Structure 1
Amino acid sequence: MATTLHPIVYWAQTEDNISLKVDLRDTSDPDIDVTAEGLYFKAFGVGAGGLHEYEFQMDFYRNVNPDRSAYRVMDRAVEFNLTKDGPALFWPRLTRDDPKPAWLRIDFDKWKSEDDSDEEDEEAVMKKEQEEQMRQIEKELLETKEQAFADLKTVYLFFFNLLQFIGYAYVVVYLFCRYAFYGKENMKEAFDRAVIPLGICQMFAFLEILHPLIGLVKTGIMAPLMQVVGRNVLLFLVILPNPEVQSDPMVCYLFLVWSSVEVFRYPFYMAGVIDYSSEVLTWLRYTVWIPLYPLGFFSEATVLYLSAPYYEKTQQFSLALPNQYNISMYYPYVIYAYMSTILILAPSLISHMWRQRQRRFRPKKPRTFHVKLN
């Protein structure tokens, strides 16, 4: 459907008349109605927006005499000569509403004030007109900037969530198909094929901590901080440096659980970015976690428990005195402490997700109406 634009309209006045000039070239099919209270105009022509349909309507500050008014369609404009109704006097403005529309401007070539010799009045009117035009330009620039930022944010968030979904979906499909066809055979190869896309997605997941900090999304920071940091510590500081645990099927089970949660979370975010509401996506987002979160916490604790003997044997990441830092750290104790933290925090995280689900699917209370009896 074509959009109707406003043409630029110039106006001037004397004590007895109002002159209007609609800046529209090659006007065709004009629909014009002049009444005592106002003017309606609609036509095709070439204006500020190119060849288009232009339309406007205005209510006059005071009445005009339509019988003594006239207009003519010219090649470069449509001109109106409107006769004021009532005593001869100058109007403070053309339209009843104040401020005037942005497309209505003063025709200084024809403008006459109450004192034609007073050039200061004309300069004041011109200055006011220029100030209003500058304010309008600033407003349009600000609106354009805000809209451009909103569009850029939408595109960025949509493709961020889309790429994250693709990465995690690859891990889910690959591991599921491998288990279906090969079972637990050669789990090290399964780990090597799954860890690269999963690691890339987990690194980009750090951006989910940044998004609420800079205002891209209106969510809290604690939930993504705990999940992203917790997973990446386990992946990059426990699993990747430990070649022995990489062959254990529990690691691939953990990858499958992590990725399955995200496969349903990111499409829900993608739909939210483009203001698309889906009951199916919403239900999956707030329901699939119920079996997967407990499985994830159990798998994380199990992988930590299986990794501890390797770090006891190799003393990797452990610090023994004396050293340049003058501190000691036994890395297996760190792993056991981290495992205990996961088991302690798991109930509160599950409760938080359950409260979110209840708020999302809480039945709406029926509206009640109170009648006041006299």
Structure 2
Amino acid sequence: MQILTPHVYWAQRHGEIFLRVELSDAKNLNIWLQENTLQFSAQGHGAKGDNEYMFSLEFLEPVRPEINHKSTQRQVDIKVKKQVERWWDRLTLQEKKPVFLAPDFDRWLDESDAEMELQAKEEEKINRINVESRVRKDPYLGLKKGYLFMYNLVQFLGFSWIFVNMTVRLFILGQDSFYDTFHTTADMMYFCQMMAVLEVINPLLGLVRTGFFPALIQVTGRNVILFVIFGSLEEMQNQPAVFFVFYLWSSIEIFRYPFYMLACIGTEWKLLTWLRYSLWIPLYPLGTISEAVAVIQSLPIFDETRRFSLPLPAALGQSLSFSYILQIYLVLMFLGLFINFRHLYKQRRRRYRSRKRKVQ
């Protein structure tokens, strides 16, 4: 009987190799390792009909001797564990790929995607810890969740008040509402943004797993705009830029805070989850552009009023205008946009990759 080679498809993770052998109704299956080379032989129906098929693959790096395999009516699935968990540049020791070998695109991931999957698995492992054992280890878990729930509830109510107030005034007054936004909503925005400082403190205390630096960038950037640009310059308080900045901020937060609030009690609404992980894609860059417009409009005012100017030695001049610092801040603002956008995008991919695995 003619001996043929079956089609073999492969994929990898940091610690494992997956092989899919296109051989249906496999019989007399024989799979073993010989000096780091996988040997395969079986009788079954492959690309050349019913025949005996066999192949061998010498792996690029050492693997563990245990081989897990499963034969179905359609194919043979093989899983081999790597000796050292690391990413391989290719599967085989020989640089030229065997003609019967191809990537398994159904399971294929690049290295960065595999790292995200590994991180998501670690997060799922943590989430599967028995609730009772967690309570014994952390007797203040209920108190922490209660604090986070109340914090997110207060912020949700505050930003909802701002959003509804601005929306109603926009429908009633039209464009005229642009010019008195600060005087009608500033007190509540002051309160919400001062409360937001807790979002920088919470990661440091281990209350949330959110990154410290993304939270610091967002809170600091917003407070500069609110307290320095709008709060200290009366000339800026009647500018339409205030309306767009406040409206975009509140549009993001009325979905973000209730999402975290429900997460504290183990509840999820699919629509709210989608809004939380999708609306920021257009709104966050638009918010940064609105903030940049406000900063640019404030530059001549700081030059004229000399407010917050830095005194210099007499040999260098009288003072350094605060507008120069704001020009540097403009560059940092868009750098912060890139950092936070990348962070949020990774969060979104990790979230939906995790949900996709649960569905499967």
Q: By the TM > 0.5 criterion, same fold?
A: yes
1:215 counterpart residue number: 206
- 1:219 Cα offset (Å): 2.2
1:201 counterpart residue number: 192
Gaps of 5+ in 1: 1-139, 368-374
| Change over 3 Å in CA distance of 1:364–1:245 after alignment to 2 | same
What is the distance in 1 between the residues matched to 2:311 and 2:136?
Answer: 61
2:276 counterpart residue number: 285
What amino acid is aligned across from residue 243 of structure 2 in structure 1? C
| Change over 3 Å in CA distance of 1:143–1:200 after alignment to 2 | closer
The residue correspondences of 1:306-345 to structure 2 (distance < 5 A) are 306-322=297-313, 328-345=319-336
1:273 counterpart residue number: 264
What is the distance in 2 between the residues matched to 1:163 and 1:351?
Answer: 28
3-state DSSP of counterpart to 1:274: coil
On the 8 A contact 2:217/2:336 being kept in 1, the answer is no
**1:224 maps onto 2:212 in alignment:** no
3-state DSSP of counterpart to 1:316: coil
Identify the match of residue 294 of structure 1 among 285, 294, 297: 285
**1:176 maps onto 2:176 in alignment:** no
- 1:349 Cα offset (Å): 2.5
- 1:327 Cα offset (Å): 9.6
| Change over 3 Å in CA distance of 1:348–1:154 after alignment to 2 | closer
Structure having the higher Rg: 1
Gaps of 5+ in 2: 1-131
1:258-313: CA deviation from partner (whole Å, max 9, x where unpaired): 11111110001001111112212211110010110111011010000011111111
> When the two structures are superposed, what TM-score results if normalisation uses the length of structure 2?
0.58
On the 8 A contact 2:229/2:236 being kept in 1, the answer is no
What amino acid is aligned across from residue 253 of structure 1 in structure 2? F
3-state DSSP of counterpart to 2:338: helix
Identify the match of residue 162 of structure 1 among 119, 135, 153: 153
| Change over 3 Å in CA distance of 1:282–1:307 after alignment to 2 | same
- 1:144 Cα offset (Å): 7.1
1:248 counterpart residue number: 239
3-state DSSP of counterpart to 2:268: coil
| Change over 3 Å in CA distance of 1:348–1:151 after alignment to 2 | closer
2:357 counterpart residue number: 364
3-state DSSP of counterpart to 1:219: coil
1:94 counterpart residue number: none
3-state DSSP of counterpart to 1:173: helix
Whose RCO is larger (CA < 8 A, sep 6+)?
2
| Change over 3 Å in CA distance of 1:353–1:241 after alignment to 2 | same
The residue correspondences of 1:48-63 to structure 2 (distance < 5 A) are none
Give the paired residue count.
Answer: 224
What is the distance in 2 between the residues matched to 1:253 and 1:314?
Answer: 25
1:260 counterpart residue number: 251
> When the two structures are superposed, what TM-score results if normalisation uses the length of structure 1?
0.56
Q: Mean Cα displacement is larger for which, 346-355 or 292-301?
A: 346-355
2:226 counterpart residue number: 235
Instruction: Give identity over the alignment, percent.
Output: 40
3-state DSSP of counterpart to 2:234: coil
- 1:366 Cα offset (Å): 9.2
What amino acid is aligned across from residue 165 of structure 1 in structure 2? F
| Change over 3 Å in CA distance of 1:180–1:329 after alignment to 2 | same
- 1:186 Cα offset (Å): 5.7
| Change over 3 Å in CA distance of 1:365–1:197 after alignment to 2 | closer
What is the distance in 2 between the residues matched to 1:223 and 1:174?
Answer: 29
The residue correspondences of 1:113-152 to structure 2 (distance < 5 A) are 146-147=138-139, 149-152=140-143
3-state DSSP of counterpart to 1:216: coil
